[in-house]
Chain A
Amino acid sequence: MCYYSLQKQSMLDLSNINGIMKRLAPLFFLGLAIIGLVIILTSCDGGNDSALNPQTGTGGSMARFAITGNTLYIVSKQSLEVYNISDGASPVKALTKNIGLGIETIFPFKDNLFIGASDGMYIFDNAKPTDPVQISKFTHIQSCDPVVVQGKYAYVTLRSGVVCRAGNTLSSLDVIDITDPSKPFLINTQAMDSPYGLSASGNRLFVCEGDKGFRIMDISNPAVPIYKSYFHDLPSYDVISRGKHLIITGKKGLFQYEYDDADNLELLSKIPVL
């Protein structure tokens, strides 16, 4: 009961913030216009296009923080917080979007933001980066669910368990067709053990299975992931894959691998947990 009353209170607070943001919006856009003008005016100085292609990093699918261009997105449990980081040292709040409950992760892909929540996946259009607009929601059963996107498909892992949902329901890997991001639909689902982070690279999909290990799926047919191999001695929580390079964290530490077409993992290095 306490939980619900708290929830209500925080929602009220957020609606206040929304009200304030609305009043500040014209000022903000004026500021944005000035910043834009400054960028255009200064972009020719160095003769490079770093303003267009900044050195922006990459997070894993478990991330609550994401950067695209000059925008920093943060998902809290119930909202999307948007910051303008044109001045990197001094983020300026652009807006707060109250989304729903149980927001877990954010994954930017092209002009969309994919937001994993405990009851579904939200898709936002962020063509206007500081004013993302929700265009759809794919609803699923209660669970924990990071998401990654490659091409026309979103891969979502649903983890059951005490932390995420009650009962003995199965964990799964779902494939959602997002050819039309306003109409996502499920095209494939299969059982997983206890999936946490996941990452797609070319024709491989990597799934962290927590204490159970690390799983490799073949997504040569991106709509139908096929089980390839399972490394039970590699507990894993979050993964980033780039080309043939894997960076994995888990209970035993940080592991980096290179893999080949036969899915052999060659250990590059590890930083063990001590």
Chain B
Amino acid sequence: MGILTMLAMKKSPLLLLGLFVLVSCLPENNENVIGVKFDGTGYKPIYASADEIAKIEFTAAKPLTEPGKIYVSDPYLFINEMGKGIHIINNADPKNPENLSFISITGNYDMAAKDKWLYADNLSNLLVFDISDPKTPKLVKTIANAIPVNNYPPYQNIYFECVESKKGLVIGWEKVTMSEKPRCYR
């Protein structure tokens, strides 16, 4: 191994890299390629069309279902609904917060605000809302492809169905049972 490595280093760094790749891919056994055994489950992409993703809806206040991150910009409090959008709360009196409205945004997890502007992610798009009237926010700008996104699930040591771009854009992942091991792993 030592001699081989030295030889490879002399020849070319690429060879060395190749050697590493080869070594790292050596299966420990037939079932266990990279370290985690396939347990019959994996992640499957949920696809949507670009039009579906771009559809932003403004609705009356909605109850929380799966609250995520929070952002404070007095007197407002923004609560992310994981992957779904943003609740706008008037928090001038923390003893009596008032749920004002909901912005439905596909693939939304993050937001930030300054003055009357609210910034939010919509998968790879960056959105700007005018929240002068937080009961009726307005979408004023969409910047496409502002945020690089990955075509793999936000988990590690798992198997997943490889993404096929012709099926659309990936808006999420669902864990499903799979009869055979998918080709993609991370």
Contact = CB atoms under 8 A, between A and B. Distances in A.
A195 B79 CA distance: 20
Given A14-B148, A274-B63, A88 B156 contact: no
Interface in B134-151: 140-141, 143, 146-151
A62 B79 CA distance: 13
A249 interface: yes
A165 B95 contact: no
A57 B97 contact: no
A124 to B, nearest CB: 17
Contacts of B2: none
B185 A1 contact: yes
A218 interface: no
Contacts of B77: 247, 254
A201 to B, nearest CB: 13
Given A62-B69, A89-B130, A269 B97 contact: yes
Give the residue among A74, A269, A271, A273 with the most B Cβ atoms within 10 A.
Answer: A271
A210 to B, nearest CB: 13
B158 A162 contact: yes
Nearest to A101: B150
A55 B114 contact: yes
Nearest to B66: A273
Interface stretch (A36-44, A64-72, A133-141): A64-72
Interface in A255-274: 256, 268-269, 271-274
A54 B111 CA distance: 17
Interface residues of A, number: 59
Contacts of B89: 254, 271
A74 B146 contact: yes
Interface in B54-113: 63-74, 77-79, 89, 91, 94-97, 99, 109-113
A74 B119 CA distance: 10
B157 A6 contact: no
A19 B65 CA distance: 43
Nearest to A73: B112
Contacts of B72: 57-59, 240, 242, 247
Interface string B2-24: 00000000000000000000000
A3 B128 contact: no
B167 interface: no
A74 to B, nearest CB: 6
Contact of B183 (A2, A63, A72): A2
Nearest to B111: A65
Contacts of B183: 1-2
Contact of A91 (B63, B116, B143, B157): B143
A85 interface: yes
Interface stretch (A21-29, A76-84, A222-230): A76-84
A30 interface: no
B113 A57 contact: yes
A162 B185 contact: no
A63 B112 CA distance: 9
A253 interface: yes
A88 B36 contact: no
Give the residue among B66, B112, B126, B150 with the most A Cβ atoms within 10 A.
Answer: B112
A254 B162 contact: no
B114 A89 contact: no
Contacts of B112: 57, 59, 63, 65-67, 72
20 contacts: A1-B183, A2-B185, A55-B73, A55-B114, A56-B114, A64-B110, A77-B148, A85-B117, A89-B140, A164-B156, A165-B157, A249-B68, A249-B69, A254-B70, A268-B94, A269-B96, A271-B64, A271-B89, A273-B63, A273-B66
Interface of B: 25, 35-36, 63-74, 77-79, 89, 91, 94-97, 99, 109-117, 119, 121, 126, 128, 130, 140-141, 143, 146-152, 154-158, 162, 183-186
